[in-house]
Amino acid sequence: MAVFRYEAMDAEGKARKGSLEADSARAARAQLRMLGMTPVAVDEINHTPANQPLGLNARFSRELSSRDVVLVIRQLASLLQARLALAQALTALIDQAEKPLLRERLSSIRSDVTAGTPLSQALARFPKAFPELVVATVSAGEQTGELGTVLSRLADALEARQALSQKVSAAFIYPAVVTVVALMVVIGLLTYVVPQVVAVFENTNQQLPTLTVVMIALSDLLRHWGWLMALVLLAAGWLFKRALGNPAFRLRFDTAVLRIPVVGPFVRSVNTARLASTLAILVGSGVPMLKALSAANRTLGNRALQGAMVDVQERVKEGSGLSKALGKSGLFPPVLTHLVASGESTGQLSTMLDRASESQRAEVERKALWLTSLLEPILILVMGLVVLLIVLAVMMPIIEVNQLVQ
């Protein structure tokens, strides 16, 4: 059976939208008529293969959020651990789903599962919602017969990753707001206050101080050419974003980011925490090491670290231990290498990877708090200095006039 999205009119003439399962579009229309509705449009919900390029409409189409995906995995794990059959568990999730898109995705997945397709393959048809990490973990759970336990562990890891992301984002919200407000205040002072005050001295033939002259020039520049400067900044941002799409430029940029004194270690810790948690899930679920490394590599957000992981995969493929391969790369923190070596020697690699992930998450939180505590006074000092210069530029001519009068 396939899943169809429909638009129909009910007996009262109201428009209805939703999805249903049927063998064909004709059967779907027949079902709607049996329900007392007049079908207007019935379209099959198409799957997007993982290797199929996305068209313009697909790129801008809605997709499940990461929070929705984690909630689905958590609920499915609970239902499976309660000994419900997979199809029944998916049906329960469909009944509980509030978002139409979520019901459509789950209905399509249930349709594939009832047709005999493994759950991992059904999820793989929606790569934007269910990435390779989820698919590989579900596949391992299917092979071991512990799908509910594996999904529960996957949900724990994904929730921890979301919590870390939210903490980091929340830590940088205040500096971002302060920066925006400071820029607005400075622009307002330069474009409105400075011209109003300086206009008083235009007919006095008074020689203005150098600082005042500089501020007047900046004010004129912003008032007359501010729109052009904004366009240039937007164009530069757009060109930079386009340049990041070039693999060679992105690699050079990400390599340079890792070398920045404060930002580099922070980016390295974020990616290391993601790498360790992914490997812990996959290795603990019984996924082969090479496949686990490949899936974990796709979760990294830095191309330089991705290149290092490719070298790690090659060394492991040649027979090297994971800890030695990570150590030779030189880009990952020593704590990860040492914990992996301990896990390999004791046969508890998954446990040690979990500890490495927790250690790096704590390090990321500590560095985020340290960065924000450093940024806040710097931003306040810079803003105060800029406002002081503007005030001095306005007050210095007034002070000189008062001295002449006396």
Answer whether residue 167 is part of any domain: no
Q: What is the pLDDT of residue 59?
A: 38
- Residue 276 belongs to domain spanning: 175-406
Output the pTM of the full model: 0.71
CATH for 306? 1.20.81.30
Number of domains the chain contains? 3
| Beta-carbon count within 10 A of 352 CB | 23
The pLDDT of residue 389 is 87
* Residue 53 covered by a domain: no
pLDDT averaged over consecutive 10-residue blocks of the chain (406 residues)? 73 77 74 81 60 38 76 89 88 84 84 84 85 84 83 86 83 84 86 77 70 84 88 94 90 91 88 88 84 85 89 89 87 88 88 88 86 84 87 79 60
What is residue 51's predicted lDDT score, i.e. its pLDDT?
41
Tell me, what's the pLDDT at 45?
66
State the amino acid at position 383 in one-letter form: M
With H, G, I as helix, E, B as strand and everything else as coil, classify residue 176: helix
pLDDT of residue 57: 38
Q: What is the pLDDT of residue 52?
A: 41
pLDDT of residue 202: 63
* DSSP sequence for 40-85: EEEEE-----TTSPP-HHHHTS----HHHHHHHHHHHHHHHHTT--
Beta bridge partners of 7: 17, 41
Q: Are residues 34 and 70 in the same domain?
A: no
Tell me, yes or no, whether 285 and 148 share the same domain. no
Does 275 share its domain with 394? yes
Pair 276, 312 in one domain:
yes
Whether residue 203 is contained in a domain is answered as yes
Task: Identify whether 169 is part of a domain.
Answer: no
pLDDT given at position 58: 37
DSSP state of 192: I
- Quote the CA–CA distance of 128 and 167 in Å, as a whole number: 24
Residues 20 and 140 in one domain: no
Residue 201 lies in a domain: yes
Is residue 56 a part of any domain in this protein?
A: no
The residue out of 160, 185, 203 marking a domain boundary is 160
Give exposure, 281-303, as e/b (b: 16+ Cβ within 10 Å). bbbbbbbeeeebbbbbbebbebb
Quote the pLDDT of residue 206: 66
pLDDT on residue 50: 39
Same domain, 114 and 253: no
Residues 188 and 226 reside in one and the same domain = yes
Residues 204 and 288 in one domain: yes
Res 236: pLDDT: 94
Q: Same domain, yes or no, for 126 and 224?
A: no
C-alpha dist (Å) from residue 78 to 34, 64, 93, 148, 172: 35, 20, 11, 7, 35
In a domain, 59, yes or no: no
Whether residue 105 lies inside any domain: the answer is yes
83 and 38 both lie in a single domain = no
Question: Do 9 and 98 reside in the same domain of the chain?
Answer: no
My answer on whether 204 and 139 are in the same domain is no
